[in-house]
Amino acid sequence: MIEISHVSKRFVSDVQTVEALRDVSLTIEKGQIWGIIGFSGAGKSTLLRMVNALEVPDQGYVKLDGRKLSDYTEGELRGGRKRIGMIFQQFNLLESRTVYENIAIPLRLNHTPAEQIAARVEELLAFVELEGKKDAYPWQLSGGQKQRVGIARALATNPEILLCDEATSALDPDTTESILQLLAQINQQLGITIILVTHQIQVVQRICNRVAVMENGQIVEQGAVLDVFGNPQRPITQRFVRTVIPDVLPESLVADLQQEERAYKLLKLRFQGNVAKENILYNINRRIPVESSVLFAAVTELQHVVLGIFIVKFIGSEKSLAAATEYLDSHEVAWQEVAV
């Protein structure tokens, strides 16, 4: 659906030349949720803006449904049924307009008849659960509510693709979670493809099924989230993975595991240096109900951090195991049961 092919972009000023993107290629299929992760300055926003035709590549091209963006007219991209919606870290709402008016903007730009605008805005307000706020001004809303308005506005024209530029970076963890849930719902219920730029691995793990890791204008690793974070090849990916350990595993479980020499040694032996092949189950405790009777184990090594979450039939309950394996199978993740 979106093909980014050998794209390079350079920003030249009197002071310096920045190679914001260097030979970046990425193919995004319809219905996927991609996370583009990297530290500040890696080129993530430039890449996202390029997908939205807000930047033009110096080399390479971006194709939407097999046709180069450069061959689309402005009207095709922005007028009519706008195919790409975008949301932002700072929400980008018009402060002097009400929630209703903010959401109606793209519809007015489209010359949508007034009665259709009203119906569509009501529908969107219900979808983002802001029915009671339609006459409020942005300054009367919380950060999470503002982002919901941003999302409703981005969805107003029924786009097929939603681009999210650090959409949760200005929000606290609970609000982040509720916005990510909403994005997942948008993907599942409306079938909208999502590309999400972030510097937070937790965001990628929470809702993305694919990830591209960016560094110095290049994509240095890409693939299924479970594979990339389960077996990080590049130092930068390993750095991201390392930051997540306390977050992924409850403290108590880490402590249990550290005490559990037998499990630790066995897992370490079994998976060391051969992580991908053994199909590490990554961050699975976030996605399926974890019951205490299923033990998720992690292996942490000093040099090469491997965070693997394995289903260990330790004090195994069949029910939890069934839930876990069903999840894995439905996501086409090969897995291995480790009896300790």
Please state, in angstroms and rounded to a whole number, the distance separating the CA atoms of residues 111 and 35. 33
**Integer CA distances (angstroms), 188 to 8, 32, 185, 193, in order:** 32, 10, 5, 9
Q: For the stretch 248-268, what's the b/e string if a residue is b when 16 or more beta carbons lie within 10 angstroms of its beta carbon?
A: bbeeebeeebeebeebbebbe
Of 199, 222, 196, whose CA–CA distance to 208 is shortest? 196
**Number of CB atoms found within 10 A of residue 124's CB:** 23
Instruction: By CB under 6 A, name the one of 35, 38, 85, 138 that touches ligand ADP.
Output: 38
Asked if residues 24 and 7 have their Cβ atoms less than 8 Å apart, the reply is yes
Q: Looking at 40-48, 119-127, 140-148, 172-180, which segment touches ligand ADP (CB under 6 A)?
A: 40-48
Site size toward ligand ADP (CB under 6 A) is 11
CB nearer ligand ADP, residue 40 or residue 292: 40
Among positions 156-195, residues that touch ligand ADP (CB under 6 A) are none
The residue (of 98 and 198) whose beta carbon lies closer to ligand ADP is: 198
| Minimum CB distance to ligand ADP smaller for 40 or for 189 | 40
Residue 200 binding ligand ADP, by CB under 6 A: no
Q: For residues 118 and 147, what is the distance between their CA atoms, to the nearest angstrom? A: 20
What's the one-letter identity of residue 39? F
Of 41-49, 73-81, 173-181, 203-211, which part binds ligand ADP (CB under 6 A)? Answer: 41-49
Q: Does residue 20 interact with ligand ADP by CB under 6 A?
A: yes
Rounded CA-CA distance 278/258 in Å is 22
Report yes or no: 307 and 246 within 8 Å, Cβ to Cβ. no
Task: Check binding of 17 to ligand ADP (CB under 6 A).
Answer: no
Q: Residue 88 CB, nearest distance to ligand ADP (Å)? A: 12
Hey, CA dihedral for 195, 198, 153, 126, is it positive or negative? positive
Q: Which of 18, 77, 220, 254 binds ligand ADP (CB under 6 A)?
A: 18
Nearest approach, Cβ of 186 to ligand ADP (angstroms)? 22
Q: Does 223 bind ligand ADP (CB under 6 A)?
A: no
Residue 259 binds ligand ADP (CB under 6 A): no
* Options 43, 57, 159, 232; binder of ligand ADP; rule CB under 6 A: 43
- 20 or 236: CB nearest ligand ADP: 20
Residues 57-116 that bind ligand ADP (CB under 6 A): none
**Complex with ligand ADP: residue 164 or 249, whichever CB lies closer:** 164
Span near ligand ADP by CB under 6 A; candidates 34-42, 107-115, 116-124, 178-186:
34-42
Measured from the CB atom, the residue of 44 and 153 that comes closer to ligand ADP is 44
Residue 87 or 290 with smaller CB distance to ligand ADP:
87
Instruction: Please check whether residue 162 is in contact with residue 85, taking contact to mean a CB–CB distance below 8 angstroms.
Output: yes
| DSSP symbols for 10-67 | EEE-SS-EEEEEEEEEEEE-TT-EEEEE--TTSSHHHHHHHHTTSS--SEEEEEETTE
Residues 225, 282: contact at Cβ < 8 Å?
yes
Task: Report the interface residues with ligand ADP, using CB under 6 A.
Answer: 11, 18, 20, 38, 40-46
